[in-house]
Structure 1
Amino acid sequence: MPLRSAPARPFRSRLRATCVIAICVAALCQAPTSTAAAPGSGADDLRGQLEQLVRAPGGPPGAIAVLQRDGVTRVVRAGVADLATGRPPQPGDHMRIASTAKAFSGAVALSLVDRHALRLDETIGRRLPRLPRAWHSVTLRQLLNHTSGLPDYTEDEEFRQILAADPRHHFDSRRLLDFVADRPLNFPPGTQYRYSNSDNIAVALMAEAATGTPYEQLLRILVYRPLGLRNTSLPQGYRMPEPYLHGYDVTTTPPEDVSEVFGVSGSWASGGIISTPADMTRFIRGYAGGALYGRNVVREQRRWIAGASEPAGPGANMAGLAIFRYATRCGVVLGHTGNFPGYTQLIAATPDGRRSLTFSVTTQINEAGNPDLVSRMRAVQENFVCALLNRSGH
């Protein structure tokens, strides 16, 4: 089907790279940890908490949070965007958004559902018949809420070996599922929740099959243009556009800049997008607020099941269709998290999209690498949510 833009509805070393790959891949299927209550949410207090996170053992060299509420934007930052120059992080700095890119594939798919180009009960077998017959009964809904059972291609030994040998290897992004095509489903579709990078690759392929349009173009038509995202892209290589938040591996002394160590053709729709805190603020306000599709689709997206993002977001996590519900001590926000070598992300907004938070740090923080720091980060994130909602939560 032909598509056109529609306005939004109101609303260093190879060895080091190998180690980072292992941490990144091992973090995909972990249970959420609890978030401890922490102090208040005044401007100085928030800044102090972010500075403490930067100074913590294993903490990121830089951090930036953008809170938008009632038309007022507050930027809180700590540390530096670049250790070589010492310049501070800025809302216009580019960054790898990691698995928050999965929300973008959800935005594309659900926009097509709204336009009746796809259905949530449509199967892999109908749209992608070349994929293994054992996978054919998996539906778009199950891909979007991680109940598909698809084996995760990033856990495949051959895939890992290729990355270890050449972190900038150029993969055919549309053939990534071939790495696990000889495997059965991990469980009958719809019977379990298991976070898998394969799910969002399949979502993008289904969107392409339904429209005859490359996924990158679908992003431009259905997401970037309606939401006014001018500094967001899905590249294939390893270069970062200037200016950017430099991402670091902090397990070395001094920290190693890993911003451009990896090509992202092996992440694609699952985690390859580059954006800025400013653009991600626009995105999550529209996405969580339902600006891209009608109420019926929003209702389906918010059918919550047990499941957590990776890393887990603040508070108690539940999974919807390419979005998560974070029930904090101060209230509920909807969003997504992600982690990638050099970066950890949280994007969240109130269900009406009127209040939003982006929270970005410049190292990879996950359960596999530093579970204590994950708990600390989630506690800080929860305090930022409380500030966003204008509640103390005590």
Structure 2
Amino acid sequence: MIARLLKTTALGQAAVAGALLTTIASGTPAEAGRAAVTPRQLQQALDRLVIRPDGPPGAIVVVRRGGKRQVFTAGTATVCAVRGGLPCRTYRRPRAGDAMRIASVSKTFSGAAALALVTDGALSLDDTIGTVLPDLPAGWHPVTLRNLLNHTSGLPDFAKSPNFGPTISASPHRAPPPRVLLSFVEDQRLAFAPGTAYAYSNSDNIVVGLMVEKAAGKPYAKVLKQRVYRPLKLKRTELKNRAAMPRPYMHGYSIEDDGSYDDVSTDIAFGGYAWASGGIVASPSDLSKYVGAYVGGDLFGKQARKAQFRFRGGDTSSPPGPGRNAAGLALFRYKTRCGSVYGHTGSILGYTQLIAASRDGRRSVTFSINTQAAASLIPALRRSQVKAVCLALGK
């Protein structure tokens, strides 16, 4: 599987980056139509999604409206397989408690940790790489924490380095330390002067994680436990450098050329290879709790939240979320026909994710499928996501 993955360019990036942490390019047209969305219409949209040739084996959506939670599922969390002539194992629907890889939704967790430390005074949004992490390349020193959180840093993306794929191939189940990931691009200059342009880079959040460690004086994973998991009582959320998944979990699949599914859930230790940029494992239930608190401002102070909600229009999350996208600090605004929600998307081998909530955090959506969406699936996926958003907003 790893060898085949390293050769493919089908998802649009060179070497392994395309299948691991890729940005899937797509336009962001305004969504048409004004009719209110019903639960039945959302369920029908999910049912249509999983029967597409390029569709996922399964999908699960959690919609929250105040204290009311609705869970919608379609397809299966585990593809039935015949082995050794034995009967197929039983299909089962995805469950809200299933663990799954949340990909770049992990960037909101590094944002939450960093903004909590900003609120404490341990960090400032104007702190630079040079003042906090002087061992990183001198050419990167002017980049601020603010630049990192809204992808205006100009840092080269380690996931696009030609050295990244061979490193995974040599040790897929045990990743090197985060500093080594950055070493793949440490000889490269900034793509532009910090703050002058937008470019989504997975290196940004690796540096954010290292800044959090330096400011807190403890490992990043421990900071997440103390500042995010425990306050919100997230029981199925973790960041560990291993390929294994905590059971039970929603299996992640790649779609082969013949239409069959290949289980890629435990092929790569993404907790290390994506780390603060995309390595977290969580359940839909935990994400539903988390997104309301994160967007609603429960994890850090008002001044940090005010800075977070300054958006740059025309910038796109990876993959693009529903409606028109705009980038804030570790947060995107998704302006749909039913109103605006705020959150993040994620795309990684085996999974595609969306979390989003109203500004007060009381209405939210988590939308998960168990394959990395191909470019051909993105328009249909976004239409289904809009239906979920409209249902959450009651429009």
TM-score calculated relative to the size of structure 1: 0.92
**Structure 1 residues 389 and 32: CA distance shift in structure 2, 3 A:** same
Separation of aligned partners in 1, 2:2 and 2:108: 32
Letter paired with 2:23:
L
Indicate the residue corresponding to 1:33 in structure 2: 28
Structure 1 residue 119, shift from structure 2 partner: 0.2
Structure 1 residue 171, shift from structure 2 partner: 1.5
Indicate the residue corresponding to 2:107 in structure 1: 102
- Greater shift, 243-252 or 57-66, is seen at 243-252
**Structure 1 residues 26 and 65: CA distance shift in structure 2, 3 A:** closer
Letter paired with 1:216:
A
Is contact 2:2–2:169 with CA below 8 Å preserved after alignment?
Answer: no
Separation of aligned partners in 2, 1:321 and 1:46: 30
**Structure 1 residues 135 and 129: CA distance shift in structure 2, 3 A:** same
Indicate the residue corresponding to 2:67 in structure 1: 71
**Structure 1 residues 270 and 18: CA distance shift in structure 2, 3 A:** farther
Instruction: Provide Cα deviations, 1:99-128, integer angstroms capped at 9, x if missing partner.
Output: 000000000000000000000000000000
How is 1:1-394 mapped onto 2 (pairs within 5 angstroms)? 12=1, 14-16=3-5, 18-19=7-8, 21-24=16-19, 27-28=22-23, 30=25, 32-34=27-29, 36-37=31-32, 41-84=37-80, 85-253=90-258, 254-264=260-270, 265-306=272-313, 307-365=315-373, 370-391=374-395
Structure 1 residue 176, shift from structure 2 partner: 1.4
Is contact 2:153–2:204 with CA below 8 Å preserved after alignment?
Answer: yes
- Greater shift, 29-38 or 150-159, is seen at 29-38
**Structure 1 residues 371 and 204: CA distance shift in structure 2, 3 A:** same
**Structure 1 residues 245 and 129: CA distance shift in structure 2, 3 A:** same
- Greater shift, 202-211 or 91-100, is seen at 202-211
Structure 1 residue 170, shift from structure 2 partner: 2.2
Letter paired with 1:352:
D
CA RMSD of aligned residues (A): 1.6
Letter paired with 1:14:
A
Is contact 2:133–2:211 with CA below 8 Å preserved after alignment?
Answer: yes
Is contact 2:253–2:350 with CA below 8 Å preserved after alignment?
Answer: yes
Secondary structure of the residue aligned to 1:345 is: strand
Structure 1 residue 143, shift from structure 2 partner: 0.2
Is contact 1:29–1:194 with CA below 8 Å preserved after alignment?
Answer: no
TM-score calculated relative to the size of structure 2: 0.92
Separation of aligned partners in 2, 1:296 and 1:16: 44
Separation of aligned partners in 1, 2:385 and 2:126: 35
Aligned residues: 376
Indicate the residue corresponding to 2:83 in structure 1: none
Letter paired with 1:323:
L
Separation of aligned partners in 2, 1:175 and 1:284: 30
Structure 1 residue 14, shift from structure 2 partner: 2.6
Separation of aligned partners in 1, 2:47 and 2:351: 17
Q: Unpaired segments of 5 or more residues in structure 1?
A: 1-11
Separation of aligned partners in 2, 1:206 and 1:200: 9
Is contact 1:348–1:357 with CA below 8 Å preserved after alignment?
Answer: yes
Indicate the residue corresponding to 2:85 in structure 1: none
Is contact 1:146–1:193 with CA below 8 Å preserved after alignment?
Answer: yes
Q: Unpaired segments of 5 or more residues in structure 2?
A: 81-89
Separation of aligned partners in 2, 1:165 and 1:315: 40
Indicate the residue corresponding to 1:3 in structure 2: none
Q: Give identity over the alignment, percent.
A: 47
Indicate the residue corresponding to 1:8 in structure 2: none
